[in-house]
Structures are given as C-alpha cells and as structure tokens.
Amino acid sequence: LSETIPPPKCLLEPYVVPHRHLFGPGPSNVPPRILKAGAQPMLGHLHAETVEIMNHIKSGIQYAFQTQNNMTLAVSGPGHAAMECAIFNSVEPGESILIVVNGIWGERASEMAERIGARVNTVVAAPGGHVTNKEIEQALVKCKPVVLFLCHGESSTGVVHPVDGIGDLCHRHNCLFLVDSVASMAGAPLHMDKQEIDILYTGSQKVLNAPPGTAPISFSERACQKIFNRKTKPVSYFLDMSWLANYWGCDGKVRMYHHTGPVSGFFGLREALAILAETGLENSWKQHRDVAEYFHQGLEAMGLRLFVEDKKCRLPTVTTIVAPPGYDWKEITAYIMKTHQIEISGGLGPSAGMVLRVGLMGCNATKANVDMILAALRDALKHCHKSRV
Ligand code: GLV
C-alpha cells in the first residue's frame, strides 16, 4: 500500500500556544510548578510510583473535601465524567432522582439522569437565586427520590448554593445527598463529612489550577451501601465504580487492569493538591472571598451591577455581572480578548445573553488580577459600541 493522503501541512509547522489570562469560568491558568510536574517522564499506569502518586492524590482529595471516606479517587476525565460517574452509579433505571436546578448544571444532571431511564423530578430556582430547605423537604416528601442533586457552585449564574441542613433532610427521607463542587471546591467553604454529603465531585481545572482531565470524587459509607448493592450494572463500563474502586485501591483487592489512567494528569493533580495542602484550605477560602469582595466593590464603583443580589450567595470563584445595558456582550468579551489577552465569558444556559462571567480561581485569585480586569472592562466600555437605548 502507498499513501494517497499527504501529511497535513498544518502539522509540519510548530504550533506556539499564546499566553493568555484565563479569567473565564475555567480552565484557569496552570502555574509553572504544576506544568513542570506534568512534564515528568511517563510511567506505567500501574507502576509502584504511579500507585504511590495515586495514594497521595487520594489523601489530597480527602483533605480538600474534608472527608475520611475511603472511597475517594480521581475519575479519568473532566468534571462531566465525575458528574456521570456520580449519577450513573447511584441511580438505577426507574428510580426517582430529585434535582435542584439553579442553573445549567442542574439542567445537565437532569438530562444525564433521563438518559439512564431515571424518574427525574426538579425543584427550580430563578436564575441568580436558590431554593430553600423547606422547598427541598416538600419535594423530598413528594418525589421520594433515592438521590438529591445540588450544584454548590453554579458557574452559569454565579450562585453559591447554601448546603447546611440539606444532608440531614436527605437522610431523614432515606435519600443520598449528591453535590457538584466543580466551580467551588477550595474556593468556597464545604465540608463533606460535617455537611453530611454522600457523593461529592469536582474538576482539576478550576481552583486547583491543574490541567483539565482528572476529576476528584468521593462516596460516603451510606453511598457505598447503595452503589455496591445495585440490582443492575451501571450503564457505563468506564465509569463503573466497582472497577474504579479497584483501580484506586479502595476495595482492598489486588489492582487489575481496567483502563489506562492519564498518568501525566495525575502528576499535575498531585502537585495541585500539594499546593493546596501547603496553602491551607481555610486560607484558600479566605483568599477567594477577599478577592471576590474587592472585585465586587470595584465593579459597583464602575456602575456595573452584580447578577446575584443576595451577597451571601455570591460565588467567590465565578462572578456574574449583569450585561452592561446598551452593549453587545459579545463585542465586550471579544474586545477584551483581542486587546488585553484576557478571557472573560458570557452567560451559559439560563444566564445566556444576560451576564458577563469572570472567574478568579486558585493562583488567578489576586487583587492585581482584579485591577487588570477592571481596567480592561473600563477600556472595553469606552471603545465598544453603545446603542442609544
Ligand atoms: C464551565 O464550567 C462554565 O461554567 O462555563
């Protein structure tokens, strides 16, 4: 055989990736220390050193999540993989799930649960708002779900949803409490064990500042009772927790081959968790809160409005700004990208067209970066077209 399709010309030139300030909702910038960790030599995915690194990651996730759960690991994939892992393993076809929809992540969780034939019930908050524990309790009584899904850090609306008391309510109604903390983990206070969360997951690419592609997840003893006593196998082989528990040494058995983990991604994630351990979780929460408050004051001083009115529910990691009236938000984000090499983003799902979103996560959460963004926004509002409405 001879080739008839020539090598693509685009691959015969080197590609230089630009430096960009990633101040959108993620991924965030990866600091040199984590990039360097990811560039270490490849190892076999079950070599002793890789297993040791995986054990360090497990301890780091237990610290970040504030949990003693043995069933703690990182899924090979982005936050969506952990989201599907959580739902696919904890809910069986025909079972009832209750989903708090306070933005796009509740909508997505509903679609994932529908795809496995679950009976999906929702309790919906207005964009920028949240639901009360009373509303949740009423829905628990009515729908008798096996799982309640709640997104803690709703990156589409900029809301950090209150969590206190919901775990207890779930347990009184014989239901597992499943929390998405992709955009909030280590940026806003969350305590898996104290807040009685049964399943918690996040992504590597937000506050942790590691490259996308690994997703920490943890299951309580109560969750394990449910997921390991199913009548049916989970629909996904790749995300089946019986396999993942074995791959991560959580089942006490000899590790067997299931899939080839993202080894370089594990190096990066270990380093990211090491930085969090050195910084301290409470310091990280405080850093994000202080920087967000400084940012919010600066925005209001410029005459811009914050989308989330209730100050206590403003997500410290991702800020939603009401799209400046009279402007085309797309022109603003494009101008800031082109002129300042800064990524900020528009709305998503229920907030599409309504907001600008700015993410300041992990190493990006600094007052100097806030000053840079405020200057870029001021410049954009001066140079972008304003209609006469
Ligand atoms: C992704 O997480 C987003 O909020 O856009």
ipTM of the complex: 0.91
Smallest Cα–Cα separation from 322: which of 353, 298, 288, 282? 353
CATH T-level assignment (fold) for domain 32-277: Aspartate Aminotransferase; domain 2 (3.40.640)
**In this model, does residue 387 exceed pLDDT 90?**
no
What is the share, in percent, of the chain residues with pLDDT greater than 90?
99
What is the rounded average pLDDT of the residues 79-94? 98
Q: For the chain, give the mean pLDDT.
A: 97
- Buried/exposed code over 110-146 (b: 16+ C-beta within 10 A; e: otherwise): bebbeebebbbbbbebebbbbbeeeebbebbeebebb
Q: How far apart are CA 6 and CA 281, in angstroms?
A: 52
Mutating to test ligand 1, I would choose from 155, 182, 204, 343 the residue with most ligand atoms within 8 A of its C-beta, which is: 155
**pLDDT attached to residue 104:** 97
For ligand 1, atom 5, name the residue with the nearest CA.
25
Q: How far is the CA of 345 from the centre of ligand 1 (A)?
A: 9
Specify the CATH architecture of the domain 21-26+281-383: Alpha-Beta Complex (3.90)
What is the rounded average pLDDT of the residues 83-108? 98
Q: Is the CB of 156 under 6 A from ligand 1?
A: yes
User: Which residue spans within 131-250 are E strands per DSSP?
Assistant: 147-151, 153-154, 159-160, 176-180, 199-201, 214-219
Domain ranges of the chain: 21-26+281-383, 32-277
User: In ligand 1, which atom is closest to the CA atom of 79?
Assistant: 2
- The band of 305, judged by pLDDT with boundaries at 50, 70 and 90, is very high
Question: pLDDT per residue over 215-232, tens digit each?
Answer: 999 999 999 999 999 999
**In this model, does residue 157 exceed pLDDT 80?**
yes
Q: How far is the CA of 72 from the centre of ligand 1 (A)?
A: 24
Strands 153-154 and 159-160: antiparallel
Q: How far is the CA of 14 from the centre of ligand 1 (A)?
A: 30
For ligand 1, atom 4, name the residue with the nearest CA.
155
**In this model, does residue 388 exceed pLDDT 90?**
no
Tell me the C-alpha to C-alpha distance, in Å, between residue 360 and each of 182, 184, 289, 294, 377. 14, 11, 10, 12, 15
What is the rounded average pLDDT of the residues 124-149? 97
- The band of 389, judged by pLDDT with boundaries at 50, 70 and 90, is low
User: In ligand 1, which atom is closest to the CA atom of 359?
Assistant: 4
Mutating to test ligand 1, I would choose from 22, 182, 348, 356 the residue with most ligand atoms within 8 A of its C-beta, which is: 348
Q: How far is the CA of 98 from the centre of ligand 1 (A)?
A: 22
**In this model, does residue 386 exceed pLDDT 90?**
no
User: In ligand 1, which atom is closest to the CA atom of 318?
Assistant: 4
Q: Is the CB of 26 under 6 A from ligand 1?
A: yes
Burial class of 249 by CB neighbour count within 10 A (0 to 12, 13 to 18, 19+): middle
What is the rounded average pLDDT of the residues 154-180? 98
For ligand 1, atom 3, name the residue with the nearest CA.
25
What is the rounded average pLDDT of the residues 252-276? 97
Q: Is the CB of 155 under 6 A from ligand 1?
A: yes
Q: How far apart are CA 137 and CA 85, in angstroms?
A: 26
**In this model, does residue 98 exceed pLDDT 90?**
yes
Question: pLDDT per residue over 324-358, tens digit each?
Answer: 999 999 999 999 999 999 999 999 999 999 999 99
Smallest Cα–Cα separation from 71: which of 252, 308, 237, 326? 252
8 A C-beta contact, residue 369 and residue 24: no
Q: How far apart are CA 134 and CA 129, in angstroms?
A: 15
Q: How far apart are CA 2 and CA 203, in angstroms?
A: 44
